[in-house]
Structure 1
């Protein structure tokens, strides 16, 4: 059953992200992804094809009656990816489909429980369908894959307890119940603080000052808030507006917030109620600052411990998730058997109709012609009724046999 389904994949479990990126670049380079995938299908190497690429994996799901050996894979992937090709995991049949279930439900993700992968899978499926790469078999498989993933997300707790340090830091921040009118001083305008800014906007914060080495970048990020201001990092030494919340994440090799700098940023205010969120690696707030000023500190070590605990919780939920996926694998097999039946019996209506037409127009044409109009019409209606019933009876019997 479904032994013609194959899956080639390379993920963070078996390769470095750079190697994965090389294969993705080989497929997508020069905006030629559609042309490359279409050429693979038109070469008759595969019958149907789905391509999925994320930051930490590449997946090729396809159907073929040919042997998928080293030569086949080289022809499929192209010369550009020969080095990494040997590392690609090859699964067939129900094993391939089950692994696709694991991917879409984030069981096999770099971060277990993150829902983004289901959206990426759906986008990839729709794209390949729009490009006429997906046929009936992969449609059935992908529809069931999406249902299985949704079932995992809805009926297990695999997505609970955040493992993102940004999310965790904002959860810890909310415990102090800062007012939306709090003054936020954000140092650094990199990707981490861009994510922090999204959380701050959701919480209703409006007064945000962003300091960054590139002042224009600071101004761009600050402009997303009603009362935002962007300044250069070098201007911190003259910043005298104070703060209630300090968020810092930079690439500096040495701590930026020394006791002296912290004292200056306080602008004469008491430190006791101040909140400092330090997401720098290494830390941007030096230990002496923490030791000499009594403020609320949220740092990476604390967040990492929480992230590890939450990841442990999510891994426990994987056991329940596997039970859900096995149920859907069985349902997929039943659905596919039914579809095979529908294909096998697709000719039945036309053949039965042809038998009726032959009986009416040839075999019994003379006898029917001798009937009065009312009786003739009744006979035709009876035959049409029997035609429809004769189509349904074998279909129903075969379907019940499969379900049984």
Structure 2
């Protein structure tokens, strides 16, 4: 019954993230995703298709009666792409189960990552607006959303942060720095981009960012009322001191040496200062930590917390799978019911045609001999019976499906 549902997917489990990225580019490059997906339908490869991609996944959910093999995979795009043949193939109930696991963030690189559900819903809206999703995939994608919501509502899979940046901010808040605290940030890479988002959200305004590229630092301080950007070469002459120091650079050696730390203090004492070191390897020298009395939040400690929290989330996966199996049973019942509704969609029209034939042909002469009041009564009776006759087989079919499930 569900064997025409298929998923082709390439994820972090199957390939390197670079290969996943190459496949995303093959589908989405030059803003050609809509054209490529539409072409699959026009060439008769698929009946309906749903496409979703994240930083570590490409997923195609589709319906087809064709054999899905390497030849089919290569035919998906107009030009040959090596990663297409590497895509894992799932069919029927296994395909639908996988979609529910993805939506519920069981199959994610980071278990319990809620953003994946939002990304899938955006893809659902996109594919529906493009006319790629019909009745079959509408049912399955809607049920995937319901299953994911059930998982998040009835498990603790999304609790306890596993993001190093989030954990660093949680650790920072434990020390309750003032919203007017002077924050100095060294580096303007992706990690510190996330840090600035947290700082804005928490209402911090006095932020100075030092970076090798001044333009990049200026971009990051936008939105802070008292934001300032300086180049990395100005760091040794920086006289503003700090209350909180964030440091995350790509340097192979520690850049916050005892000498530089002394300079950054600007004559103030180290006690009460907070240093958040998110560099790999560490950006704060061991000698600096040993020499000065400040609160040190290091990435190794944050990683240990993240792994502990991830272990907690993984223990919730078994419960999430139980929820998914229940939704799979509901999906089968729902789809069977929908198939019956489709099969019986012509019944009302056929019953109306029978009534029309009876009135205008079979019993036309007899009805003409009736007085107006009797004729009106007969019409009302036949209309009532018509409506009842339409409902009876539909109800019986639904009850038969429910009795089997």
Answer whether TM exceeds 0.5 for this pair: yes
Q: What is the CA deviation profile of residues 353-391 of structure 1, one whole-angstrom value per residue up to 9, with x for unaligned ones?
A: 111111111111111111111111011001000000000
| 2:308 is the alignment partner of 1:290 | no
| 2:388 is the alignment partner of 1:389 | yes
- Structure 1 unaligned blocks of 5 or more: none
> Aligned partners of 1:32, 1:243: CA distance in 2, in Å?
48
Alignment of 1:56-135 (within 5 A): 56-81=56-81, 83-135=82-134
| 2:160 is the alignment partner of 1:161 | yes
Alpha-carbon contact 1:184-1:246 (below 8 Å) kept:
yes
Alignment of 1:5-404 (within 5 A): 5-81=5-81, 83-404=82-403
> Aligned partners of 1:66, 1:271: CA distance in 2, in Å?
69
Alpha-carbon contact 2:183-2:207 (below 8 Å) kept:
yes
> Aligned partners of 2:78, 2:322: CA distance in 1, in Å?
38
SS of the residue corresponding to residue 14 of structure 1 reads coil
> Aligned partners of 1:8, 1:146: CA distance in 2, in Å?
19
SS of the residue corresponding to residue 52 of structure 1 reads strand
Alpha-carbon contact 1:26-1:80 (below 8 Å) kept:
no
Alpha-carbon contact 1:290-1:297 (below 8 Å) kept:
yes
Alpha-carbon contact 2:206-2:226 (below 8 Å) kept:
yes
SS of the residue corresponding to residue 181 of structure 1 reads coil
Alpha-carbon contact 2:5-2:62 (below 8 Å) kept:
yes
TM-score (norm 2): 0.97
Aligned-pair distance for 1:4? 0.6
Give the total of aligned pairs.
Answer: 403
Aligned-pair distance for 1:77? 4.1
Aligned-pair distance for 1:79? 4.0
> Aligned partners of 2:343, 2:190: CA distance in 1, in Å?
55
The 10-residue stretch of structure 1 (197-206 or 300-309) with the greater mean CA deviation from structure 2: 197-206
| Aligned CA-pair RMSD | 1.1
Q: What is the CA deviation profile of residues 245-298 of structure 1, one whole-angstrom value per residue up to 9, with x for unaligned ones?
A: 001111111111111111111112121110000011111100000000010000
Aligned-pair distance for 1:78? 4.7
> Aligned partners of 1:314, 1:358: CA distance in 2, in Å?
65
TM-score (norm 1): 0.98
The 10-residue stretch of structure 1 (176-185 or 214-223) with the greater mean CA deviation from structure 2: 214-223
SS of the residue corresponding to residue 86 of structure 1 reads helix
Alpha-carbon contact 1:152-1:321 (below 8 Å) kept:
yes
> Aligned partners of 1:386, 1:223: CA distance in 2, in Å?
71
Alpha-carbon contact 2:73-2:85 (below 8 Å) kept:
no
Aligned-pair distance for 1:117? 0.9
SS of the residue corresponding to residue 111 of structure 2 reads coil
The 10-residue stretch of structure 1 (288-297 or 121-130) with the greater mean CA deviation from structure 2: 121-130
The 10-residue stretch of structure 1 (331-340 or 219-228) with the greater mean CA deviation from structure 2: 219-228
> Aligned partners of 2:299, 2:309: CA distance in 1, in Å?
15
- Structure 2 unaligned blocks of 5 or more: none
> Aligned partners of 2:70, 2:284: CA distance in 1, in Å?
53
> Aligned partners of 1:74, 1:213: CA distance in 2, in Å?
45
> Aligned partners of 1:273, 1:377: CA distance in 2, in Å?
92
